[in-house]
């Protein structure tokens, strides 16, 4: 019961805090065109909420990023909690491609559109392609995006097969791909559960991968390199069933 209470407390705190200040922040951004007026308070609320429920975050590799470079960040996806973590800890005013349902809330939906979040209708292929095109255009104008290459949250924390969308966007916009390994998110907030277990999330930012020389013809190579890089900083339990099995067999041979 306590984990559920922590989950309710965290989400209530985040949504209540944002709901109270959102109208003012949105008005200020519309007037000043300074999106930091949204990002800075939101990051403060996210950090405060995590501290309140005993969640710690360790980040490594930020020094690998160029200050003024636009990127597509491609993390593995375990838990809903990763969305606010990426907004807060990547030191970038990043945006997402979000489910169309989250835009139904008038103030919240308007606010996230202001910072470049793009609505995606996953049930409509034509609309989804148009959403990716809009995000690609924003990339060309300097807006970095987080795009989960798995396309959905993993049910057990293991890395799922990758989809091409994030990589085509990076190639078309001419921006580097940044693989990100996230460990511990499933243990803190399991998929489809409003529960929070105090623990530590580890975010590893890897070296950016230049997309020059990649195209639709060899996109598989870019996807493979990104996947292998993400896996390199994940535990055996977070690997694919195939890689986990291979590691266990190797360990068994060593012990013999």
- Domain CATH for 191: 3.40.1130.10
Rounded to whole angstroms, how far apart are CA atoms 195 and 173?
A: 38
Domain for residue 103, yes or no? yes
Number of domains in the chain: 1
Domain for residue 201, yes or no? yes
Q: Report if pTM > 0.95.
A: no
Domain for residue 115, yes or no? yes
| pLDDT by residue, tens only, the chain of 256 residues | 699 999 999 999 998 998 899 999 999 999 999 999 999 999 999 999 999 999 999 999 999 999 999 999 999 998 989 999 999 999 999 999 988 888 888 788 899 999 999 999 878 888 889 999 999 999 999 999 999 999 888 877 789 999 999 999 999 999 999 999 999 998 999 887 899 999 999 999 999 999 999 999 999 999 999 999 999 999 765 665 444 433 333 333 323 3
The burial class, CB within 10 Å (0-12 / 13-18 / 19+), for 97 is buried
- Are 52 and 197 spatial neighbours (Cβ–Cβ below 8 Å)? no
Task: Print the domain residue range for 70.
Answer: 56-235
Domain for residue 114, yes or no? yes
Residues 6+ away with beta carbon under 8 Å from 40: none
pLDDT of 239 reads 64
Question: What's the token pair of residue 45?
Answer: 């609320």
Domain for residue 38, yes or no? no
pLDDT of 1 reads 63
Domain for residue 50, yes or no? no
Helix spans in 53-160 (H): 82-89, 106-114, 125-140
3-class DSSP state for residue 78? coil
pLDDT of 173 reads 97
Domain for residue 85, yes or no? yes
Chain centre distance of CA 225: 19
Give Rg (Cα) of the chain. Answer: 19
Domain for residue 78, yes or no? yes
Rounded to whole angstroms, how far apart are CA atoms 81 and 86?
A: 9
């Amino acid at each position: 019961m306590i984990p559920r209470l922590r989950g309710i407390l965290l989400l209530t705190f985040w949504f209540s805090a944002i709901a109270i200040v959102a109208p003012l922040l949105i008005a200020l951004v519309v007037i000043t065109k300074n999106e930091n007026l949204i990002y800075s308070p939101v990051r403060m609320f996210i950090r405060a909420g995590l501290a309140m429920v005993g969640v710690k975050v360790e980040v490594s590799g930020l020094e690998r990023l160029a200050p003024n470079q636009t990127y597509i960040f491609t993390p593995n996806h375990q838990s809903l909690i990763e969305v606010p973590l990426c907004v807060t800890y990547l030191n970038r005013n990043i945006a997402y491609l979000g489910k169309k349902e989250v835009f139904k809330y008038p103030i919240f939906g308007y606010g996230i559109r202001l910072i470049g979040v793009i609505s995606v209708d996953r049930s409509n292929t034509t609309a989804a392609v148009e959403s990716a095109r809009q995000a690609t255009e924003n990339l060309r104008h300097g807006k970095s995006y987080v795009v989960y290459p798995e396309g959905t949250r993993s049910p057990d924390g293991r890395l799922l097969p990758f989809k091409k969308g994030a990589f085509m966007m990076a190639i078309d916009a001419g921006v580097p791909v940044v693989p990100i390994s996230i460990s511990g998110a499933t243990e803190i907030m399991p998929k489809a559960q409003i529960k929070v277990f105090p623990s530590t999330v580890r975010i590893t930012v890897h070296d950016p991968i230049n997309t020059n020389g990649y195209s639709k013809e060899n996109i598989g190579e870019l996807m493979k390199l990104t996947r292998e890089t993400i896996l390199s900083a994940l535990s055996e339990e977070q690997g694919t069933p195939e890689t986990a099995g291979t590691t266990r067999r190797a360990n068994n041979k060593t012990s013999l």
